[in-house]
Structures are given as C-alpha cells and as structure tokens.
Amino acid sequence: MLRDEEQIQIVEEASTGKEVERILENTPIDVILLDIKMPEMNGMDTAKFIKERYPATKILVFSSFDEDRYIFKMIQIGISGYILKTISLSNLLTAIKTVANGDSYFSKEVSKKVVRQFSSSRTQKVGIGDQLTEREQEILKLVAKGLTNAEMGDMLFISPRTVDTHRRNLMQKLDLHNVMELTQYAREHGFLD
Amino acid sequence: MPSNKKLREHARKRLDMLPEIARDLSTLEVGELMHELRVHQIELEVQNQELRTMQHRLEQVADQYTDLFDFAPVGYLITDKKGVILNINLTGCSMLGHERARIKGRPFSTYLAKGMEGSSFFFNHLKQVFETNAIQSCELELKRGGNNTFYAQLDSTAEVDIEDSTTQCRIVLRDLTDEKKTVELQYLNKALKQEKEKAQHYLEMSGVIFMTLNKEAVISMINDTGCKILGYDCNKANCKNSMNTSESGCQLEGLNWIDHFILRKDQNEIREIFDGLMSGGQNIENYEGNVRCKDGGQRTISWRSITLKDDKDQITGLLCSGTDISGLRQAEIASVTALLDGQESERQRIAADLHDSIQPLLATVKRNIESFNPHIETLSEDKKKDFESITKFLTMTIQEIKAISRNLASPSLKDFGLVVTLGDLCESMAQSEKLKVNFYNTGMDRKMAPSLSTELFRIAQELLTNAVKHANATTITLQLIGHEHSIILMIEDDGKGFDSQKKRTGMGINNILMRVKAIKGKVDIDSRVGKATTITVEVPRV
C-alpha cells in the first residue's frame, strides 16, 4: 500500500534489530516504522540505540502492543509517535508524514491511555505505613499486645501458621529481625491503642 | 603339762637316783642348803610361769593359724600317700559339702564324680606328686554334697610331716565353677556380638537409615547407611573421635538431630512434630522431609517413626527408619517440570501465532472494511447499521484475541519483570471483574531466574482466577514478598471461604499444587467456611 504513495519511499526493510543497525550504518533514514516484538534485539532496545546513534531518524512505533507499559516505556525512550497495527491506511500515511515533519503522532487509543495515566490516582510508593496490608496492621496491633500465634489466629479466624507467615512478612517489610523488635516497633508506631 | 602329782613323783624318782648326800651336816650347812633350795624353788616357779605364758601365747598363735587354715579362700587338704584325707579345712568341707568329721579318714576318691575314670586320674596325680618334688596340678570333677558336681583344680605338693616323719600330700583345692562360668559368659558374649554384627550387616545392606533419638532429639544411634546418606564418611576407623570410646561410636552420635540436619526453615515445624510425639502423639507412618547433608546439599527422606518406651511405659525416645527418595522426588519434579515446560512452549507458540498471524490479518480486514466507509453514505439506514455492527464485532474480535494472547503469554514478563507484570495483571483483573485487587510487593529487587518468574506468574494467575471464580470475593489482596531464602506469594480474599480440611479436587487448586511442587515450594491453604481465605505459597529462592 505504501508503495503507491508518492511522497514516501520505502528504503529498506528489516526483521531484526541487528539488521536495522546495519542498514542505518549505510543509509540515512528519515522515518522508521518500528515494531516492538522482534527477535534478537527487541523494539525498545532498538529505539534506544537509534536515539543514541542516529538522532536524526524519527521513530514511529508501529505495534500491536497496546499495553500501557510498552507505550510509556517507548515514550520515555523518546519516540516521536506510537500507532497500533489496527490503524487505518489514511491515518498511517498521516502519521508518517507528521512524524517526518518533526511532530508527534499517537493513535487515538494510545493518547487516551496516556491521558488516563496522568489523571488517575495510582498507588505509588508512599510511606512505609501504606505498604502494610489491613491484615498485617491488625496483626501488628495484636503483636503489640503480646498475644501468641494461636491466640491471634483464634481472634482473626486464621491458622497460627498463617499468623506466623504474616509476622515474617512484617519483619521483612519493616526490616526487623526478631519478635522483640517487632513488638517494639508496634508500640512505638502507635499500634497499641 | 604333767600334773603336779606326777611331777613330784618324777622328781622323787630322780632324787632317789642321785648319790647319797652326807647325813651329818651341821645346822649352819642345813640352813644354807635350805636357803639354796628355797631360791631354787622360786627360780623354778618363775620358769614355770614363763613357760605357762609361752604356752598361752603359742596356743593363741595356733588358734590364729587354725583360723587362717580353716577359713582360707581355697580348700586345704592333707592326705597320706594312699590318698586318705588326714585333714581338711572348713572351706574344703563346704566345697565337698560335708562336715569335717565325716570327711576325715575317708579316701579322697570318695568325692570324685567320674568314678573309675576319675580315680585313676587322681592316683596318677598323687604318684606324680610323691615322685617329683614340684607342685603338680590337675582338674577334676568332684561331688558336692549328694548330687551336685563341680569342677575343681588341685595343686598338690609332697611334705614330710614333722611329728611322725611320714610323707603327706598337701592339696590346694580351687572351685573352678566361677572361672568356668566366666569362660562360658565370654563365649556367649562373643556369640551375641557376632549375631549383633550380622544383624547390623543386614541393616546396612537394606540401605535404610536407622536412627534413635533421645527425648531431646539428640542422636543416640545411627547406622552406617544413615551416615553415608548424610554425607559423612562412616568408615568406622576414622569415625571415632577422641570423646567416643565405644566400639560402634559414630561422629554423629551426640549431635542434636534438628539443629544439625534439618533445614533452618523447617526446624520449627519439625520441633513441633517431635515434641508432639514425645508427649504421646501417634507414631508417624509416612513423613517426607528434607535433610541437610555435610556438603550443604539436601536429600528428601521418607520417614517412619515409633516411640521407644522403658519398662515403666514412659517414652524415652524415638526410633526412626528412613528411605532416601531424593531420586524419586527429583524424577517426579523433572517430569512435572517437563510437562509444565511443554505447556509453556505451547502457550508461547499459540500466542506467537495469534500475534503474528491472526492479529495482522484481522487488522488488515478491519482496514479493508474501513476503506468502504466513503461508500456507506449511499446505503440505506438499515444497511448502514449492519455495516456498523460488522466493524463493531470486528473490533471486539480483535480485542478478544488480544486478551487471549495476553493470557497465554505475557511478553511483559521478560521485558518488565514479574513485579510489574503481576501489578498489571491485578489491575486488569480489577477492571474486568469489577473487584478491588490490591497488590503489594517487597524485597523483590534481586534478580530472578526467568523460569521462576514465569512459574510464579502462572501460579499467581491461577490463584487470582481461583479467588474470583470460587470465592465470590469483593476484595482480593495479592502480596509478593521476597525473603532472604524464599519468596512468599500470598493471596487473601474476603469471600465465602471453604473448609480446607476437605481435599479440593478442583482443577485450579490442583494446578497450583502441581506447579508449586515442581519448583520445590510449599502451599498452605487456610480457609474456614464463611470466613476469609488465605493461600500462602512459599518457594525457595535459589
């Protein structure tokens, strides 16, 4: 389809990141339609490589991956555009031309995701307190009171073994090493009411 | 001592024999004579007294020696040349089982047990005694009292009797019964030892670990196989250490089993089980566990244990027999791993096919259909609606294929790691199932083998699906906690719970169990009817 267009000339095709490297060494490329899933060197590493060595070449990601992860990673790397393989022909042409001109182009769906990412309140790593589950906080309170595993289990309707696992997890999360430290922490941080 | 009367008579007789003394003596001479006589008398009396004292002393000494003779630890006999017993001490009497009065005067042969045969033997012995002048010894069977016999040793010499110059035989009689008993005991001991060694040899050949532990879980005995399996060279010669002097001593005896040979993470659990047994719990038919070997490696052992009790029926320890099933377990794990790997490759392949073939095809179809868009305007309203449906369904199909593909093989795992991918999975589940899914992670900074990542991801997938499907939960909490030597994957839901005592035969749980076992991990399902469920998966971090 692209061959029919006048303004665009397909210079080369490559199936792996390594081939891209080779081609770029020999020929200057304006726009590269880059897939993410490629053998040997995947799209992300290839994009990084291109940005470093051939900054003049514009990268237009052309992928079927629409997961947020991939989009954001590529944007971080510094691509000029991200379109999905379900894109219509006309939009594809527009995208290529836009990117060649130095502007950015994102598929509708991709833009939506980016916007949603910034507007939603994601759980980032806040203080340590936020890292404990509700159950763990309950356990911490009971530890401060000095109950045994069996007693805690009875109160919370879980087995003593589960209680023990929660304690171990707590110690790992809070970087404590024994029961004494755990109890001390519990008391200090106001888990004792 | 002759009586005084006799003495006087004797003295008179002697006096009569003496020459006549001059009759006419002067009074003075008579006086002097009288004085002399009186002095003499006193001298004699003194001598008499001394003699009496000496006699008394001699009597005392004689008594002493008689006691020594009579109560010697061996029997003393004195016989004449013909073997007739002239004297015998009390010990000898009790040996022969008769009173002294009865024995004295009898021939010694009376007390021989073997009749004719013994007789000739004894007389030969006597002959030798009198012919040579050395001590002769022989062993005879003698009669004690009426019926019993015993073996005795005779050590005999010839002596000349002081009083009547006859030659006598002085015999020392020794009861050999105790000595014989000792020899018998020694023989029995040796036989017992041989049997014991045979039994041990059979034990060793069976290739089973035999071990006894005391109440504190200290090894009191462990067989060679046990030592070997634990990686200790149990050539008995170099197994002895300076503390241990017993013959079957082994360097492992005296060590606490739990402290030294159970993996740290299992120690608490094993201690609980052991204490339970010691306080009267049921014997264990079959328990599988890992032990720590000398080289730091592990082996899987299948144990049977029974409690040992003393004669008061108190529990004193534990007897354990174990078979090394590491090979078996490894084979099992290998086959399950192979199965899972096969599954995984299939999934990857199908996902790849979907991604590379189906999706692009559908994308092309969509594009082609969309190229008809300009011509739609010319159609009727109904036809326009139909056309929209087609595009809508096509879009849905593409989404579905994408979801299936994502489910099958998440490339994100390799590119972004387990934590990120799991987080995304939780989010997408939360969205699609309309639940709250909280995801926590700690301590996952260390690098992880990709196979472990994949397995944990699949297990987490199963856990989540299981919780959603069966638990009817509204909130799910998934945690991925990296500990020093293991990783804990824990899922809690607030659903309706199930009785975890009943074996769950659902596909989901079985899948989880199989996968966890293949990576040498453990699963704990904690659930009560009507209450929240907590499933904990712990896998070693190696």
Residues in chain A closer than 8 A to B488 (CB atoms) = 165, 168-169
> Which range has the top average pLDDT, A146-150, B65-69, B400-404, B516-520?
B65-69
Q: d(Cα B55, Cα B57) in Å, to the nearest integer?
A: 5
Interface contact B442-A172, CB threshold 8 A: yes
d(CA B66, CA B379) in angstroms, rounded, equals 152
Which residues in chain A have their CB less than 8 angstroms from residue B528's CB? 157
Per the structure, the complete domain to which residue A177 belongs is given by 128-188
Written as one string, the DSSP assignment of A51-113 is: HHH-TTSEEEEEES---HHHHHHHHHHT-SEEEETT--HHHHHHHHHHHHTT--EE-HHHHHH
Using the predicted structure, report yes or no on whether residue B455 has a pLDDT greater than 50. Answer: yes
Nearest C-alpha of chain B: how many angstroms from A54?
A: 24
Q: What's the first-to-final CA gap in chain B, in angstroms?
A: 111
Q: Residue B526 and residue A66: Cβ atoms within 8 Å?
A: no
* Overall domain count for chain A: 2
Q: Is A90 in the same domain as A139?
A: no
Assess whether pLDDT exceeds 70 at residue B121. Answer: yes
- Is there a contact between A158 and B532 if contact means CB atoms under 8 Å apart? yes
CB-based contact (8 Å) between B481 and chain A?
yes
A88 contacts in B (CB within 8 Å)? 367, 370-371
Whether pLDDT at A15 is above 80: no
Residue with tokens 């020392």: B172
Same domain, A89 and A135: no
pLDDT tier at B226 (50, 70, 90 boundaries)?
Answer: confident
Q: Which residues of chain B neighbour A160 with C-beta distances below 8 Å? A: none
What residues of A are in contact with residue B440 (Cβ under 8 Å)?
Answer: 131, 133
Return the residue in A41, A71, A158 with the most chain B beta carbons within 10 A, the one to mutate for interface testing: A158
Residues A87 and A55 in one domain: yes
A11-20, A174-183, B347-356: least confidently modelled range: A11-20
Residues in chain B with CB shorter than 8 Å from the CB of A169 are: 442, 479, 481, 488, 490
pLDDT digits (tens, 9 = 90+) for B250-284: 778 888 999 889 988 788 888 888 888 888 777 77
B482:A37 CB<8 A: no
pLDDT of residue B478: 93
**Separation of alpha carbons B282 and B259, rounded Å:** 23
Do A148 and A80 sit in the same domain of this protein?
Answer: no
- The verdict on a CB contact (< 8 Å) between B534 and A162 is yes
Per residue in B352-364, pLDDT tens? 888 788 888 888 8
The residue of chain B nearest to residue A173, with distances taken between CA atoms, is B442
In the listed set A119, A143, A168, which residue is the last one of a domain according to the structure? Answer: A119
**Cβ-defined contact of B415 to A135 (cutoff 8 Å):** no
Read off the pLDDT of each residue in B45-65 and give the average, rounded to a whole number: 93
Could you read off the pLDDT of B390-420 as tens digits, one per residue?
888 988 888 888 878 877 877 778 888 888 8
B4: helix, strand or coil: helix
Q: Where are the beta strands (DSSP E) in A97-163?
A: 105-106
Whose tokens are 């720590």? That residue is B292
ipTM for the complex shown: 0.73
A-chain CB neighbours of B534 within 8 Å are 158, 162
Cβ atoms B196, B232 nearer than 8 A: no
Could you tell me the pLDDT band of residue A106, with boundaries at 50, 70 and 90?
Answer: very high
- Smallest Cβ–Cβ distance between B526 and the set A44, A134, A162 belongs to A162
The verdict on A70 and A150 lying in the same domain is: no
Nearest by CB to B367, which of A65, A89, A173? A89
Q: Decide if A147 contacts A139 (C-beta within 8 A).
A: no
Q: Give yes or no for B389 touching A (CB within 8 A).
A: no
What is residue A174's three-state secondary structure? Answer: helix
Looking at residue A46, which CATH number applies to its domain?
A: 3.40.50.2300
Domain ranges for chain B = 22-68, 72-175, 207-324, 330-409, 411-542
Pair A8, A101 in one domain: yes
Beta carbons within 8 Å of B261's beta carbon, 6+ residues apart: B230, B255, B291, B292
Q: Which chain A residues touch B if contact means CB-CB below 8 Å?
A: 37, 42, 44, 64-70, 73, 85-89, 131, 133-135, 157-159, 161-162, 165, 168-169, 172-173
User: Judging by DSSP bridges, how do beta strands A81-84 and A58-63 pair with one another?
Assistant: parallel
DSSP-assigned letter for residue B357: I
Residue type, A186: A
The pLDDT score that the predictor gives to residue A120 is: 63
* pLDDT (mean) for B174-198: 89
Instruction: Specify which residues B475 forms β-bridges with.
Output: B436
Cβ distance of A64 and B424 shorter than 8 Å: no
Q: Tell me, letter by letter, the H, E, C secondary structure of B207-259.
A: CCEEEEEECCCEEEEECHHHHHHCCCCCCHHHHCCCCCCCCCCCCCCCCEHHH
* A91 and A145 fall within a common domain: no
* 8 Å CB contact of A157 and B398: no
Nearest to B413 by CA among B449, B437, B446: B449
Burial A148-165 (b: 16+ CB within 10 A, else e): ebeebbeebebbebbbbb
pTM above 0.80, yes or no: no
Contacts of A165 in chain B (CB under 8 A): 488, 490, 524, 536, 538
pLDDT of residue B503: 46
* Inter-residue contact A82 to A71 (CB < 8 Å): yes
Separation CA B121–CA B419 (nearest Å) = 102
Indicate yes or no: CB of B488 within 8 angstroms of CB of A85: no
When computed from its CA atoms, the radius of gyration of chain A, rounded to whole angstroms, is 27
Q: Residue A180 belongs to a domain with what CATH number?
A: 1.10.10.10
pLDDT in tens, A117-142: 777 655 443 334 458 888 998 888 88
| The pLDDT of residue B245 | 41
Q: Does A193 map to a domain?
A: no
Q: Is residue A169 part of a domain?
A: yes
Just give the CATH number of B411-542: 3.30.565.10
d(CA B482, CA B466): 23
Chain A residues near residue B483 by CB distance under 8 angstroms: 168, 172
Between positions 331 and 360 of B, the ones with CB within 8 A of A are 355, 359-360
How wide is the angle at C-alpha B133 spanned by C-alphas B127 and B136, nearest 5°?
60
- 3-class secondary structure, B180: helix
pLDDT at B44: 93
**What's the rounded Cα separation, in Å, for the pair B277 and B287?**
13
Q: How far apart are CA B215 and CA B200, in angstroms?
A: 24
Taking a C-beta distance cutoff of 8 angstroms, is the pair B210, B200 a contact? no
Shared domain check, A105 and A28 = yes
Q: What is the spatial distance between Cα B129 and Cα B106, in angstroms, rounded to a whole number?
A: 20
**Nearest partner of A169 among B120, B486, B53, B428, judged by Cα:** B486
Q: Which long-range contacts (CB under 8 A, 24 or more apart) does B80-86 make?
A: B80/B166, B80/B168, B80/B169, B81/B126, B81/B130, B81/B166, B81/B167, B81/B168, B81/B169, B82/B107, B83/B107, B83/B108, B83/B109, B83/B122, B83/B123, B83/B126, B83/B169, B84/B108, B86/B168
Q: For all residues of chain A together, what is the average pLDDT?
A: 81
Pairing mode, strands B436-442 and B475-482: parallel
Backbone angles phi, psi at B308, to 5 degrees: -100, 140
Angle subtended at Cα B436 by Cα B431 and Cα B439, rounded to the nearest 5 degrees: 95
The pLDDT tens digits for B137-161 are: 988 888 888 788 888 999 999 888 7
Chain A contact present for B411, CB below 8 A = yes
Nearest to B292 by CA among B202, B244, B231: B231
Mean pLDDT of B437-459: 88
Residue bearing the bigger pLDDT, B524 or A2: B524
> What pLDDT band is residue B85 in, cutting at 50, 70 and 90?
very high
pLDDT digits (tens, 9 = 90+) for A77-102: 888 999 988 787 888 888 888 998 88
B243 pLDDT more than 50:
no
Confirm whether B207-324 and B411-542 share one CATH topology: no
Q: A32 and A102 share a domain?
A: yes
Q: Closest partner residue to B531 among A134, A157, A169, by Cβ? A: A157
Question: Helix-strand-coil percent breakdown of chain A, rounded to 5?
Answer: 55, 10, 35
Question: Inter-chain contact A89–B490, Cβ cutoff 8 Å?
Answer: no
pLDDT tens digits along B204-221 = 777 888 899 998 899 988
Q: Which of A34-38, A154-158, B49-53, B349-353 has the lowest mean pLDDT?
A: A34-38
Is CATH 3.30.450.20 what the domain over B207-324 is classified as, yes or no?
yes
Cβ atoms within 10 A of the Cβ of A130, count?
Answer: 10
Structure-model confidence comparison of residues A54 and B18, the more confident one: A54
Could you say which of B359, B415, B532 has the minimum Cβ distance to residue A64? B359
Q: In this predicted structure, what is the pLDDT of residue B477? A: 92
